[in-house]
């Protein structure tokens, strides 16, 4: 499995995953349907929007329906001959800090039929050099308290637990964990 920059060549497999009910956003299941609508309206624009290092794209919709300004970021797709999942990276230029509405630098989601194959662990390992290349000293990743699989992914990549916290209301207010991975 490798992470790839999304292209039109990969899009049909991505669409097939969305049509099977997978959502790229763990907090917003409807995001899958919304992305299908975007792809049908402008597939080329959708692909172009997967790489937005200057944060010029539209505002981001949060799980509570509110909108916030986009951060610089990009998505990579997990690929083993077909689409397996997505990993996204976002940051603020010149600082490791993130705004309060952004829980972590990196988020990932593997399609259900490809889970338990080590793909998330491999994807996170592959994206860390890109995070370092934008000047970050570390990345922070959050996960729900009960999401042991995600915790194993983070720990396997050198993550260290830095805090227990409660997610903001727009993310459901659940108890969560924040990990940090140093980018030496």
Question: How far from 151 is each of 6, 13, 78, CA to CA, in Å?
Answer: 26, 28, 19
Q: Where are the domains of the chain?
A: 2-136
**Average pLDDT score over residue span 55-73:** 87
Give this prediction's pTM.
Answer: 0.93
Token pair, residue 89, equals 């990276």
Tell whether the model's pLDDT for residue 27 goes beyond 90: no
pLDDT one-digit tens code per residue, 151-180: 999 999 999 999 999 988 877 888 999 999
Tell me the CB-side half-sphere exposure of residue 146, using CA atoms within 13 A.
1
**Sheet of strand 160-166: strand arrangement:** 138-144, 175-182, 160-166
Tell whether the model's pLDDT for residue 62 goes beyond 80: no
Identify the CATH assignment for 2-136 out of 3.40.1620, 3.40.630, 2.60.40, 1.10.357: 3.40.630
């Amino acid at each position: 499995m490798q992470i790839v920059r999304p292209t039109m060549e990969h899009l049909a497999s991505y669409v097939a995953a969305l049509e099977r009910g997978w959502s790229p956003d763990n907090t917003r299941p409807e995001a899958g349907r919304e992305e299908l609508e975007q792809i049908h309206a402008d597939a080329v624009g959708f692909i172009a929007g997967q790489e937005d290092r200057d944060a010029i794209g539209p505002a981001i919709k949060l799980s509570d329906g509110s909108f916030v300004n986009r951060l610089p970021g990009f998505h990579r797709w997990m690929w083993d001959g077909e689409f397996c999942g997505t990993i996204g990276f976002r940051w603020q230029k010149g600082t490791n800090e993130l705004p309060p509405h952004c829980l972590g630098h990196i988020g990932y989601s593997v399609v259900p039929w490809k889970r338990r194959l080590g793909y998330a662990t491999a994807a996170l390992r592959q994206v860390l050099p890109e995070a370092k290349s934008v000047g970050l000293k570390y990345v922070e990743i959050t996960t729900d308290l009960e999401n042991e699989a995600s915790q194993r992914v983070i720990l396997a990549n050198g993550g260290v637990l830095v805090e227990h916290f409660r997610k903001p209301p727009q993310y459901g207010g659940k108890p969560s964990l924040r990990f940090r991975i140093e980018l030496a």
